[in-house]
Copies of this chain bind each other. A is one copy, B any other.
């Protein structure tokens, strides 16, 4: 199914994918339904026969995928899964259809084996993880009662290496923004107006440069107000696996800027960031054009940590930019997406069971890690369901998710099936 939810031309495929899931989940013995939203439907399935006195486990996944371009870099059709050297190549092979597949297979096996479960099971598979989750957010607000659970398991993450089991106990939130600085109605000639017209690229560069202080800290007033530091004890609970040599080598990275006072592994997980994801203005083609542009644009994002509110960060950033633009320069700034970070209870039952499941399947001690990326609605889903969260999965950094030739190893399908199966069994046994 070409369930590229971000591109309207694939809406039909996305709907078909959702319909298939509903019918398949019904077949394996769950009560499955499609929750319509103003955007893509959410698939909800449950088996709550165990009753009120038993614990409830909610599982989160998503059925949408990223666009496939550039198509010519794919070695085989992204929508015809192909096996090469023990790996499945396809868009979604890992993120999140592959991981969804072994999770549902484990559920199917459990339901076949045990006619009645000793816990309540709920499944929430959204279709907008790659495109903002606007519709999904609506439904979360509406279906609070249906979503109420004790434990939330997110199967959309990975492990730090092929032999390193790890539960993900938190991820950063995100705020994305689009902005434009305009100083005139039309472009001008740098000979006739250079020296008088305020160049919007200069104005934008200046305002952006003012977002960091001399020590490399983000200089937006109140940016760190809600940021809580981890206690030494809390820090000990996590593995901040990231060494400088590896990072320098993997991306040919030559310039580093870890948050002053923090390890690089901490900087990408427990610290908030401000990044300029794109900038554009004036003439950028071949050769030279002595244009004095009227407009400069940028795309900016922040990765947020627990207690940072995307709305507040947006307001503070906007004000800061306004304060550092020259008189007359017009700022247009649009908030694209905002979602809060989530952080798990390290001592929760589900965290312990997830770690145990990994350890029993992989035969190694399980680490606890914090992810630097974001899954938009986990914070909201955890809050609405009232559940303790844990995130797991078998993704690897080398799986090319979101990129051409996305793939997922058959061995990890098996490990995933066994791990989720083990975890479900623990809940069944109680």
| Interface size range on A against B | 35 or more
Mark out the residues of chain A between 182 and 213 whose CB falls within 8 Å of any chain B CB in the assembled complex.
182-186, 188-206, 208-210, 212
Q: Which residues of B contact A254 (CB under 8 A)?
A: 182-184, 328-330
Q: Give the contacting residue for A255; candidates B195, B205, B251, B326; CB below 8 A.
A: B326
Whether the Cβ atoms of A206 and B212 lie closer than 8 Å is: yes
- In the assembled complex, the Cα of A267 lies from the Cα of B186 at a distance in Å of 20
Whether the Cβ atoms of B281 and A279 lie closer than 8 Å is: yes
Check A371/B191 contact, CB under 8 A, given A6-B287, A209-B209, A282-B277. Answer: yes
Q: Give the contacting residue for A185; candidates B210, B251, B277, B296; CB below 8 A.
A: B251
Q: Give the contacting residue for A372; candidates B172, B195, B209, B257; CB below 8 A.
A: B195
CB distance from A370 to the nearest CB of B (A): 12
Whether the Cβ atoms of B278 and A284 lie closer than 8 Å is: yes
Check A373/B189 contact, CB under 8 A, given A196-B267, A197-B251. Answer: yes
CB distance from A335 to the nearest CB of B (A): 11
Check A296/B279 contact, CB under 8 A, given A196-B242, A208-B202, A330-B254. Answer: yes
Q: Which residues of B contact A55 (CB under 8 A)?
A: none
Whether the Cβ atoms of B282 and A326 lie closer than 8 Å is: no
Q: Which residues of B contact A278 (CB under 8 A)?
A: 201, 281-284, 289, 291, 293
**Per-residue contact bits, chain A 289-331, to B (CB 8 Å; 1 contact, 0 not):** 1111110111101010000000000000000000000111110
**Centre residue among A186, A195, A275 by max chain B CB count within 10 A:** A195
Q: A234 on the interface (CB 8 Å rule)?
A: no
- In the assembled complex, the Cα of A288 lies from the Cα of B373 at a distance in Å of 15
- In the assembled complex, the Cα of A13 lies from the Cα of B361 at a distance in Å of 74
Q: Give the contacting residue for A284; candidates B194, B203, B279, B301; CB below 8 A.
A: B279
Whether the Cβ atoms of B209 and A276 lie closer than 8 Å is: no
- In the assembled complex, the Cα of A197 lies from the Cα of B271 at a distance in Å of 14
Q: Which residues of B contact A53 (CB under 8 A)?
A: none
Whether the Cβ atoms of B209 and A206 lie closer than 8 Å is: yes
Check A303/B255 contact, CB under 8 A, given A281-B276, A287-B6, A289-B277. Answer: no
CB distance from A74 to the nearest CB of B (A): 18
- In the assembled complex, the Cα of A293 lies from the Cα of B251 at a distance in Å of 11
CB distance from A343 to the nearest CB of B (A): 16
**Centre residue among A190, A206, A298, A328 by max chain B CB count within 10 A:** A190
Q: Which residues of B contact A271 (CB under 8 A)?
A: 195
Whether the Cβ atoms of A301 and B277 lie closer than 8 Å is: no
Closest-by-CB residue of B relative to A303 is: B194
CB distance from A404 to the nearest CB of B (A): 14
Q: A228 on the interface (CB 8 Å rule)?
A: no
Q: Can you list 22 residue pairs at the A/B interface with Cβ under 8 Å?
A: A6-B287, A176-B288, A183-B253, A185-B253, A188-B251, A189-B373, A195-B257, A195-B259, A195-B264, A196-B268, A199-B275, A201-B208, A202-B276, A205-B209, A255-B327, A256-B328, A275-B292, A278-B291, A279-B282, A284-B299, A289-B299, A290-B301
Binding site for B on A (CB under 8 A): 6, 172, 174, 176, 178, 182-186, 188-206, 208-210, 212, 242, 247, 251-259, 264, 267-269, 271-273, 275-284, 287-294, 296-299, 301, 303, 326-330, 336-337, 371-374, 397, 402
Beyond A6-B287, A277-B283, A288-B337, 20 additional contacts (C-beta under 8 Å) are A184-B252, A186-B252, A190-B301, A191-B374, A194-B268, A194-B301, A195-B257, A196-B267, A197-B253, A198-B257, A200-B255, A201-B208, A202-B208, A205-B279, A206-B209, A252-B294, A277-B293, A278-B291, A279-B284, A280-B284
